[in-house]
A and B are shown apart, each in its own frame.
Chain A
Amino acid sequence: MDWLSMGRWSPYIVGIGIGLLSWVAFLLSDRPLGCSTAFSKTCGLIERAFRGDKVMLHPYYQTVTPTVDWQWVIAVGIVLGAFVSAQLSGQFKWQWVPTLWASTFGPAPVPRLIVAFIGGVLLGLGSRWADGCTSGHGISGTMQLTVSSWVASICFFIGGIAAAMAIYTIWA
């Protein structure tokens, strides 16, 4: 059982594993693997708790229904799976600031939290705008050879590489 406590697996083993999971998702659930929709559903569910079922009439929540379903429990599963994996390999640790960030911008939590929040807003906005994220477009869409997914995935990396270079070479 040594492999269960190994800190890191080969990226090829991990990638093939994710590919096999997508076979299961297509065969048994008739769905592609994706996870950013869960965030929209959560927003809708929160709004529904406060404003009631009229939220369901909102144009966006007619296309992405705020309900607890397959696409929503995926997010719960990811949290549980990553937690168990980190526990088994002894990698779980509370950390405010990632190592690379700390070595460039210092160890203070507040600046990192503010930047992380801004990044999260852009990520949430962008994933809904493009109708998918690194899983839904980047893995599941490209494997189906969908044009929109290839275009979106290439743009994810163009935007990401440009912004990362700007942050770590110009700003730093």
Chain B
Amino acid sequence: MLTKLHSDKAFQLFMGLAIGFFFGFLLQRGGVTEYDVILGQLLLTDFTVLKIMLSAVITGMLGVYYFRRRGWVRLHPKAGSVGMSVIGGLIFGVGFAVLGYCPGTALGAAAQGSLDALIGGLLGLLVGSALFAAIYPHLKDSVLSWGYFGLVSLPELLKVDGWQLAWIVAVALTVLLVVLETAGTY
């Protein structure tokens, strides 16, 4: 039933647009399309970004692992390596602080009139993506494959049931949110 929907191109274009719309709406309404809120998180003075991300992860994780148990969805893990995830992650992190938005929130910031996101940010994102595509043939078999660990998931790594681990992680992240909230000053 659902696989038919998954291969319906027109329906999927509509879904992408609709999901993007609500995602953009929520990002803007959560305040994370603002430079000051993103920098506040990275300077550890405003924990809005982490609160949004962790509540999204807890909600999403319990749903996705439940649906997977029922056989309704499949997971889409991304492969990784030390060269990709650590080096790429650190480059991303520096860009995150220098621009003050991430790719999704830069789009949202541009849409609420922030010209630094629209002119500097989006142009830079396109140039950076093009640059990566250009150097990709040289990186593919060198840096990107250093310390390759592939498509592994935490349940596989720890040899535990995914649904059980999802609950353990959900409880741990909830505790973290409660601690952040009661730490008061934030």
Contacts and interface: CB of A to CB of B under 8 A. Distances in A.
A117 B121 contact: yes
Contacts of B42: 157, 160-161, 163-165
Interface string B30-54: 1101111001101110001001111
Which among A11, A83, A154 has the greatest number of chain B C-beta atoms within 10 A? A11
A81 B24 contact: yes
B57 to A, nearest CB: 5
Prevailing SS type, chain A contact patch: helix
Contact of B15 (A29, A42, A109, A128): A29
Nearest to B96: A160
Contacts of A120: 95, 99, 106, 120-128
Given A15-B51, A148-B78, A98 B34 contact: yes
Prevailing SS type, chain B contact patch: helix
Contact of B102 (A32, A81, A134, A140): A134
A170 to B, nearest CB: 12
A148 B81 CA distance: 7
Interface of A: 6, 8-9, 11-12, 14-33, 35-36, 38-40, 42-44, 46-47, 58-61, 64, 68-86, 89, 91-101, 109, 112-165, 167-168
Given A78-B20, A122-B95, A122-B99, 18 more contacts: A18-B52, A21-B23, A23-B64, A27-B72, A29-B16, A35-B104, A78-B24, A80-B20, A82-B28, A112-B116, A115-B120, A124-B103, A124-B126, A128-B132, A132-B78, A149-B80, A151-B86, A163-B42
Q: Please provide the 3 A-B residue pairs with the shortest distance between their CB atoms, ordered closest to farther.
A: A120-B124, A77-B20, A159-B93
13 contacts: A11-B31, A16-B59, A21-B26, A30-B76, A33-B23, A78-B20, A82-B108, A100-B39, A118-B98, A120-B125, A130-B89, A139-B56, A156-B93
Interface of B: 2-3, 5-6, 9, 12-13, 15-31, 33-36, 39-40, 42-44, 48, 51-61, 63-64, 67, 72-81, 84-100, 102-117, 119-133, 136-137, 139-140, 144, 149, 151-155, 157, 162, 165-166, 169, 177
